[in-house]
Structure 1
Amino acid sequence: MSSKIQHFAAKLAEAEVTRVGIDPLTYTDPDITVNEAYHIQLENIKKKVSEGRKIIGKKIGLTSVAVQNLLGVNEPDYGHLLDTMMIENGGTIFCETMIQPKVEGEIAFILKNDLKGPNITVLDVLQATDYVVPALEIVDSRIQDWKIKLQDTVADNASSGFYVIGGKPTKISEINLELIGMALYQNGEVANTGVGAAVLGNPAGCVAWLANRLADYDISLKAGEVILSGALSGMVVAKPGETFTARFAHLGQVSVNFK
């Protein structure tokens, strides 16, 4: 492993502990590659696993064409979900545990079979899925002021923070993923809305992309894992005292409080 990967992994790990954002990696080292960024992410994930945390799923980011255009990229990214990131439905997150939290509404896939790329298709994802549920992802960035490029967010575990799943387990055969509508409420008022087709045309397509991308690092999606398939609408800044609820057609709702 290169000293560059170790150096940046340590910087991001320190920022997570101190809750003080750091300069973008792409500012410090303009030549850093996406592949190096993924290895930085994996270095910190391996460290956390060695300390007793468990990988319980994956998250997909940058699934919106608008966000991709903003960052000048043409593909999503991914991060790892750890057991310490899970918040119960209706639970509370203390803002002091994060740097600059934002909330997104997503559809979560719970797998019943392993998926390993390459060449995974949407049909493969549908057959490997046990059920889907509504989810909230609370993203955060260890990069100061969210001044990120693709390499920055990839290295930072895809700007992960916490996540919440709720609603009711629903079989994919009972719904049309592309047409599932969502409304994200902030303190009882609609903050934004979205639909399943907003994420690469189909949330299952995002999961297929993930399985194939992970093959580059000899990683597979495991039965029982939670896969956050990407935000159906924009991120909303969260502050102490606020409550967020995402209501999905057919899937139910999920909520979280901030203090």
Structure 2
Amino acid sequence: MPTAAPWPQQRVGRPPMLDAATLDEMADIVARAQAAPHTMPKLTDKHPGMTIEDGYAVQDRLLAKWEAEGRSLIGLKAGLTSKAKMEQMGVSEPSFGILMRDTLDPEGSVIPTDRLIHPRVEAEIAFVMKDELSGENVTIDEILDATDYIQPAIEILDSRFEKFKFDLESVIADNGSSARFVMGGRARRPRDVDLRTIGMVMEIDGEIVACASSGAVLGHPARSIQMLVAWLHGRGRTLPAGSIVLTGGATEAIAIKPGNAVFARFQDMGEISVRIG
């Protein structure tokens, strides 16, 4: 199991606009909505001046809270990295979030929905890093060299916002709707496949519900990692060796319900399945 080093906590770049007490309050609201699942209004409803940096400041507080509870960071995720997802969510740029070790489920497992509100699934490519990456302008070749292997993944998303309606600032504070994720199929070395053209087919209960190519993610899923590393660099951080990185769904997220059997088939990388409980 990969083990990611903790992030350093310093931050550089633009500071949050909201004061620390307000950000603490927001983090408490989000943490409660996730721990004892219930819906909440968009955070910008009460704080219309909230910025993207404020959303990430809430994420920082969530990570500190979760680590204080004994949970550990295992990686990061990119979201809204395909045209389909941007159009579905009504946003124009990707976002980033954190992955906690206890949200990784075994392939073939049953994902309970009793703690989920608006569950949806998407298929994506996961990268597992063997080397640390840092800097503002890492290249695709540097990313591939730093990658141990790539692997099929299914991410289970769950927005806590009322009626699944949110804006970018709010969804970042909600950790990019992160809930659970599963990795499986056939792990491959990143240079052994054409990462721009991996076909993906998602089925629910034997019915094809989405088809896509890995190139739908910014033309090449490693570009998600380029953007992620640059984002981390702007905050005085690096992408640690051992990190799992979910590069983002190539298709829109598909709603699921109890009893569904979800299969995601990846060209030359096998298939991954979960059952929704």
Which of 152, 161, 164 is the equivalent residue of 2:170? 152
**More helix by proportion, 1 or 2?**
1
1:164 aligns with 2:171: no
Match of 1:237 in 2: 255
Q: Which amino acid is 1:23 matched to?
A: P
TM-score (norm 1): 0.97
SS of 2:71 mapped into structure 1: coil
1:225 aligns with 2:250: no
**Following superposition, which runs of at least 4 residues in structure 1 exceed 3 angstroms of deviation?**
69-74
> 1:113-144 deviations in whole A, cap 9, x for unaligned?
01112112212111111110100000111211
Q: What is the number of equivalent residue pairs in this alignment? A: 259
Match of 2:64 in 1: 46
What stretches of structure 2 of length at least 5 have no aligned partner?
1-18
Which of 162, 179, 194 is the equivalent residue of 1:176? 194
Which of 77, 82, 90 is the equivalent residue of 2:108? 90
Which of 86, 94, 105 is the equivalent residue of 1:68? 86
What does 1:1-259 align with in structure 2 at a 5 Å threshold?
2-69=20-87, 71=89, 73-259=91-277
CA distance in 1, matches of 2:232, 2:256: 31
CA contact (8 A) 1:117 1:213 kept: no
TM-score (norm 2): 0.90
Q: Which amino acid is 2:188 matched to?
A: T
- Give the Å deviation of 1:207: 0.9
- Alignment RMSD: 1.2
CA distance in 2, matches of 1:219, 1:143: 29
CA distance in 2, matches of 1:71, 1:145: 13
CA contact (8 A) 2:42 2:161 kept: yes
- Give the Å deviation of 1:66: 3.9
CA distance in 1, matches of 2:241, 2:250: 24
CA contact (8 A) 1:238 1:258 kept: yes
CA contact (8 A) 1:110 1:131 kept: yes
